[in-house]
Structure 1
Amino acid sequence: MAISSIFDCGELRRQFHSAGINPNFIPFIWKYVVQNPNCDWDDIPSLPSAAYPLLRSHFKPSTSSLHTVIDSSDNVTTKLLIKLQNGSFVEAVIMRYDTRLGKYGGKPRPGGPRSTLCISSQVGCKMGCKFCATGSMGFKSNLSSGEIVEQLVHASHFSQIRNVVFMGMGEPLNNYSALVEAIHIMQGSPFQLSPKKITVSTVGIIHAINKLQSDLPNLNLAVSLHAPVQDIRCQIMPAARAFPLEKLMDTLRTYQTNSGQKIFIEYIMLDEVNDEEQHAHQLGKLLETFQVVVNLIPFNPIGNLSYFKTSSEQKVARFQKILRGTYNIRTTVRKQMGQDISGACGQLVVNQPDKRSTGSAGLLTDIEDLHL
């Protein structure tokens, strides 16, 4: 029988209920484990006597281990290669920012240095997006809620994590129940992450988006749109055939009406595929009645796996100008981070580098602050 992660909340609650143990002890156990990652269960003080043999027989403080830590030359990005209990690997990426840089509404921004963690939800991915290295792996397995949360635990020993984005390996909404449970854990003690600091990115799994707002209210939703019309979307994102653009936009309209929140739109810039002026106008018309932030993402090369080229800075700037100037759509250009360690958007695919080092804080700003 596989031993569960202590952060597999559903299993832990079931075991405690069967043994008649008060579930109020669970946050206390989690806090102790986060502060003492190599602890033995007997080290935890003041638990009911029945809890100790139960924990020893059914749970581990962590079912995953940190295999490799590699820092980017940008000095602000760190990639964690994490080995799971079944021998598979996933990647998580820490990105450090300073929220004081730049201005918001013409005024200096509040805050200071903090970190965003990009988390994986699956080993591999079945979506098969042609510009994404993870898609080349195919789908291997879903992560448990505990394996998702353990990425945050590992990362918290390197940096204080303020934001979490589910933009790592996998399609989060294809692992829906584990995702929801993991986020509920992150919002409670000891992590205490605000739902406004958590972003879930999806290619547009319509039936799951319909449930998301009631299951995880106040969460940030990011949609990987990547094309303004269905035929281009299907060319670069084969899974889009199952989620027609017109139906997806209707779903997003309902989501926005019910939630009252902005929606983040992810748009990867592919030279001569989706980055021409006509595409900018098509995207603007598609989104002009929504409250959105469009995030233009420079394409990150993925070796021989791709047929695509990176759009020029001039094209990206022109695209942004059309969305902003003609359609009054808030539009950002994502800062490229971690390219040299294959930690940038679309580059996450398991490899096992030997380099190990420690990180240092840098000074950037990022889209997760734009919900303010």
Structure 2
Amino acid sequence: MGVGSIFDGPDVRAEFEKAGINTHFIPFIWKYVIKNPNCEWDDIPDLPSAAYSLLRSKFKTSTSSVDSVINSNDGVTTKLLVKLQNGAFVEAVIMRYDTRLGKYCGKPRPGGPRSTLCISSQVGCKMGCKFCATGSMGFKNNLSSGEIVEQLVHASCLSQIRNVVFMGMGEPLNNYSALVEAVRAMSGVPFQLSPKRITVSTVGIIHAINKLHKDLPGLNLAVSLHAPVQDVRCQIMPAARAFPLEKLMDALQVYQKNSMQKIFIEYIMLDGVNDEEQHAHQLGKLLETFDVVVNLIPFNPIGSLSQFRTSSEEKVLRFQKILRGVNNIRTTVRKQMGQDISGACGQLVVNLPDEKKPPNLGVTDIEDLVSRR
């Protein structure tokens, strides 16, 4: 076995057990490394002597590094370009909110500043959605659970992270075991993020959705639906052919019945493709038996890669009005963040560059609703 990440929970536990070292030391080690990111293993106090030699030979405090930090002109979005051990790049995006802004039920909102972290689960993506630049990369490789968790560790050095959304590069449910282990690490000591503050977005991998509630109870599920009928969905999301809409909705009914939780529906607005009034009525009919929040996402242009146009604001608001008024479905319009640093929905792509120029990366799907709950 090569040198792995200390945040790869299953590997670390297996090695500790094999060496007869109590696994209760692992959260203590994680906490120390988070607070002292540049530490050496010998700096950590009070471990059994066998633990030090094991850590030196088998694990690194971090297998990834922050290659660059790019701040948006919006003042609230920061993009971390993370270089992995194999030389590939992924990115994590920090989005800062102040929940006191605006009103809730006519009263000032409680709370204060908080941050949501959008993280990647794969290098590239094999789903090939035509409106998302990541799809043009193809699939490179899965991240380990440690590489996923390390994005949270890096971001925590810059901001106190309250929510995590799996909406960066990749289809999280296609890297299922690493996703499950990463979420378990994030919701345990020392991170202690509530599962209610972790959201996983998927195009609808049915067999994985069927396992998700049992493996990760309490998690938020977001589904990238993007069309109310199968033929339109296949037109813009080739992977949808493997996951027929009728079967996907059946799986979501079972998931909701078991989890008793709201499901977030993501719907990117593409002019003349899925944004007409008939589509709004079809979507309302499709979702009428569910407890959902629909998040309408303005399409972000991605240069020559796209044949699509952005829906007009009037069309988006009319679509929202139909879902709310006719079907009584809670519907929000996503606020765009970080477009100037290619950090907005659908702009993520790696044009692997010359040596001195960092890759132009972004985020496929940023779900900010969790931050506003």
**TM-score (norm: length of structure 1):** 0.95
- Give the AA of the match of 1:367: L
> Shift of the alpha carbon at 1:39?
0.4
* 2:106 match: 106
* 1:33 match: 33
C-alpha separation in 2, matches of 1:102 and 1:209 = 34
1:146-196 CA deviation, whole Å, 9 max, x = no partner?
000000000011111000000000000000000000000000111110000
* 1:248 match: 248
* 2:364 match: none
1:7-36 CA deviation, whole Å, 9 max, x = no partner?
000000000001100000000000000001
- Give the AA of the match of 2:287: L
C-alpha separation in 2, matches of 1:288 and 1:239 = 25
- Partner SS, residue 49 of structure 2: coil
C-alpha separation in 1, matches of 2:349 and 2:106 = 40
* 1:367 match: 369
C-alpha separation in 2, matches of 1:107 and 1:200 = 30
* 1:278 match: 278
* Preserved CA contact (<8 Å) 2:79 2:93: yes
C-alpha separation in 2, matches of 1:58 and 1:153 = 20
* 1:153 match: 153
* Preserved CA contact (<8 Å) 1:119 1:169: yes
* Preserved CA contact (<8 Å) 1:99 1:110: yes
* 2:213 match: 213
- Give the AA of the match of 1:80: L
* Preserved CA contact (<8 Å) 1:69 1:355: no
* 2:79 match: 79
Count of aligned positions: 363
* Preserved CA contact (<8 Å) 1:70 1:355: no
* Preserved CA contact (<8 Å) 1:296 1:316: yes
Residue correspondence of structure 1 range 7-22 to structure 2 within 5 A: 7-22=7-22
- Give the AA of the match of 2:370: E
1:97-143 CA deviation, whole Å, 9 max, x = no partner?
01112223333221100100000000000000000011110000000
> Shift of the alpha carbon at 1:369?
3.9
* 1:318 match: 318
1:298-334 CA deviation, whole Å, 9 max, x = no partner?
0011111100011111110100010001110000000
Gaps of at least 5 residues in structure 2 are 359-366
* 1:177 match: 177
Identity in percent: 82
* Preserved CA contact (<8 Å) 2:127 2:171: yes
C-alpha separation in 2, matches of 1:263 and 1:205 = 15
1:264-285 CA deviation, whole Å, 9 max, x = no partner?
0000000000001110000000
Residue correspondence of structure 1 range 1-372 to structure 2 within 5 A: 1-350=1-350, 366-369=368-371, 372=373
C-alpha separation in 1, matches of 2:334 and 2:350 = 23
C-alpha separation in 1, matches of 2:291 and 2:129 = 26
* Preserved CA contact (<8 Å) 1:97 1:366: no
C-alpha separation in 2, matches of 1:165 and 1:351 = 24
> Shift of the alpha carbon at 1:355?
9.3
- Give the AA of the match of 1:196: K
- Give the AA of the match of 2:83: K
> Shift of the alpha carbon at 1:349?
1.7
C-alpha separation in 2, matches of 1:65 and 1:369 = 27
- Partner SS, residue 155 of structure 2: helix
- Partner SS, residue 82 of structure 2: strand
C-alpha separation in 1, matches of 2:333 and 2:98 = 17
- Partner SS, residue 24 of structure 2: helix
1:186-210 CA deviation, whole Å, 9 max, x = no partner?
0011111000000000000000000
> Shift of the alpha carbon at 1:350?
2.5
> Shift of the alpha carbon at 1:351?
5.0
Gaps of at least 5 residues in structure 1 are 357-364
Q: 1:296 to 1:173 in 2, by over 3 A?
A: same
* Preserved CA contact (<8 Å) 1:162 1:197: yes
* 1:361 match: none
* Preserved CA contact (<8 Å) 2:116 2:368: no
Q: 1:46 to 1:148 in 2, by over 3 A?
A: same
